[in-house]
Amino acid sequence: MTDHHGDIDSVTGKSTTGHEWDGIKELNTPLPRWWVISFYLTIVWAIGYWIVYPAWPLISSNTTGLFGYSSRADVAVELANLEKVRGDKVAALGAASLADIEKDPALLALARAKGKTVFGDNCAPCHGSGGAGAKGFPNLNDDDWLWGGTLDQIMQTIQFGARSGHAKAHEGQMLAFGKDGVLKGDEIVTVANYVRSLSGLSTRKGFDAAKGEKIFAENCIACHGDGGKGNPEMGAPNLTDKIWLYGSDEASLIETISQGRAGVMPAWEGRLDPATIKAMAVYVHSLGGGK
Amino acid sequence: MNKTVNPNDLTSNDDNGPLYVAQKKVYPQSVSGTFRRIKWGLMAFCLGVYYFLPFVRWNRGIGAPSQAVLIDLPNSRFYFFFIELWPQEIYYFTGLLIVAAVALFLMNSVGGRIWCGYLCPQTVWTDLFYAVERLVEGDRRERMKKDKSSDPMKLERISEIVLKHSIWLLIAWWTGGAWVLYFNDAPTLVKELVTFQAPMIAYIWIGILTATTYVLAGFMREQVCTYMCPWPRIQAALTDEWALNVTYRYDRGEKRTSVKKAIELRALGEHVGDCVDCYQCVAVCPTGIDIRNGPQLECIQCGLCIDACDNVMTKIGRPKRLIGYDNDINIQRRQEGKAPVYRIVRARTVAYSAIIAAVGGIMIYTLATRSLLDVNVLHDRNPVAVRLSDGSIRNAYTVRLLNKSGYDRVIAIDANGPANLTTHVVGIDSVTPDRPMIVIPRDSTSELRLLVTAPAESNPEKSVPVLFHVTDIGLGEVATATDNFVSP
pLDDT in tens, B312-352: 999 999 999 999 999 888 988 988 889 989 999 999 999 99
| Cross-chain CB nearest to A109 (options B389, B391, B447) | B447
Per-residue confidence (pLDDT) for residue B426, from 0 to 100? 85
Q: Which residue in chain B has the smallest CA separation from A244?
A: B389
Per-residue confidence (pLDDT) for residue A86, from 0 to 100? 86
Give contacts of A105 with chain B, Cβ < 8 Å. Answer: 427, 446
DSSP string covering B106-173: HHHHHHSSHIIIII-HHHHHHHHHHHHHHHHH-SHHHHHHHHH-S-TT-HHHHHHHHHHHHHHHHHHH
Higher pLDDT, B2 or A189: A189
Q: Which residues lie across from B397 on neighbouring strands? A: B379, B450
The per-residue pLDDT for range B263-312, each reduced to its tens digit, is: 899 888 888 899 999 999 999 999 999 999 988 889 999 999 999 999 99
Contact B386 A11 (CB under 8 A): no
Dihedral of CA B290/B291/B294/B299: which sign? positive
Is pLDDT at B257 greater than 50 in this prediction? yes
Is pLDDT at A278 greater than 70 in this prediction? yes
Separation between Cα atoms, residue B422 and residue A288, nearest integer Å = 13
Separation between Cα atoms, residue B451 and residue B439, nearest integer Å = 18
Report the alpha-carbon angle A14-A20-A22, nearest 5.
120
Is pLDDT at B5 greater than 80 in this prediction? no
Q: With bands split at pLDDT 50, 70 and 90, how would you rate the model's confidence at B16?
A: low
Q: Which residues lie across from B486 on neighbouring strands? A: B463
Give contacts of A103 with chain B, Cβ < 8 Å. Answer: 427
Per-residue confidence (pLDDT) for residue B51, from 0 to 100? 96
Q: With bands split at pLDDT 50, 70 and 90, how would you rate the model's confidence at B390?
A: confident
Min distance A27 CA to chain B CA atoms (Å):
15
Residue from A24, A143, A245 whose CB has the most chain B CBs within 10 Å, to mutate: A143
Per-residue confidence (pLDDT) for residue A102, from 0 to 100? 87
Q: With bands split at pLDDT 50, 70 and 90, how would you rate the model's confidence at B433?
A: low
Contact B386 A109 (CB under 8 A): no
Min distance A163 CA to chain B CA atoms (Å):
24
Per-residue confidence (pLDDT) for residue B244, from 0 to 100? 92
Q: What letter does residue B399 receive in the DSSP assignment? A: E
Is pLDDT at B104 greater than 60 in this prediction? yes
Min distance B457 CA to chain A CA atoms (Å):
13
The per-residue pLDDT of chain B, averaged, comes to 90
Q: Name the residue type at position A249.
A: D
Q: 10 Å Cβ neighbour count for B336?
A: 7
ipTM: 0.74
Is pLDDT at B14 greater than 50 in this prediction? no
The per-residue pLDDT for range A137-149, each reduced to its tens digit, is: 999 999 899 999 9
Question: A187 touching B, CB under 8 A?
Answer: no
- Say if residue B73 is exposed, middle or buried (CB neighbours under 10 Å; 0-12, 13-18, 19+): exposed
CB pairs A-B closer than 8 Å? 68
The per-residue pLDDT for range B54-87, each reduced to its tens digit, is: 999 999 887 889 999 999 998 899 999 988 999 9
Higher pLDDT, B488 or A119: A119
Separation between Cα atoms, residue A45 and residue A199, nearest integer Å = 74
The per-residue pLDDT for range B27-36, each reduced to its tens digit, is: 999 999 999 9
Of the candidates B428, B451, B430, the one whose C-alpha atom is nearest the C-alpha of residue B377 is B451
Of the candidates A174, A176, A159, the one whose C-alpha atom is nearest the C-alpha of residue A265 is A159
Chain B: residues touching A (Cβ < 8 Å): 1-5, 7, 10, 380-383, 386-391, 394, 396, 426-427, 446-447, 449, 451, 456
Prior bond of B187 cis (ω within 30°)? no
Separation between Cα atoms, residue B433 and residue B421, nearest integer Å = 12
| Cross-chain CB nearest to B382 (options A112, A132, A241) | A132
Is pLDDT at B471 greater than 80 in this prediction? yes
Report if pTM > 0.80. Answer: no
| Cross-chain CB nearest to B396 (options A22, A241, A288) | A288
- Nearby residues of A82 by Cβ (< 8 Å), 6 or more positions away: none
Give the 3-state secondary structure of residue B295: coil
The per-residue pLDDT for range B129-144, each reduced to its tens digit, is: 999 999 999 999 999 9
Min distance B425 CA to chain A CA atoms (Å):
9
Mean pLDDT calculated for residue range B382-405? 91
Q: With bands split at pLDDT 50, 70 and 90, how would you rate the model's confidence at B12?
A: very low
Separation between Cα atoms, residue B71 and residue B79, nearest integer Å = 6
- Say if residue A71 is exposed, middle or buried (CB neighbours under 10 Å; 0-12, 13-18, 19+): exposed
- The percentage of chain A sitting over the pLDDT mark of 90, rounded to a whole number, equals 63
Is pLDDT at B10 greater than 50 in this prediction? no
Q: Which residue in chain B has the smallest CA separation from A140?
A: B386
The per-residue pLDDT for range A70-127, each reduced to its tens digit, is: 888 899 999 999 989 888 888 999 899 998 998 888 899 899 999 999 999 999 999 9
Per-residue confidence (pLDDT) for residue B72, from 0 to 100? 93
User: What b/e sequence results for B276-300 when a residue is b if at least 16 CB atoms lie within 10 Å of its CB, and e otherwise?
Assistant: bebebbbbbbbbbbebbeeeeeebb
Contact B388 A112 (CB under 8 A): no
Mean pLDDT calculated for residue range A215-235? 91
Per-residue confidence (pLDDT) for residue B245, from 0 to 100? 92
Q: How far is CA B44 from CA B29, B50, B129, B223, B302, in A?
A: 20, 10, 13, 24, 16
Q: Which of residues 217-256 of A touch B (CB under 8 A)?
A: 238, 241-243
Per-residue confidence (pLDDT) for residue B434, from 0 to 100? 76
Cα B189 vs. chain centroid, distance in angstroms? Answer: 24
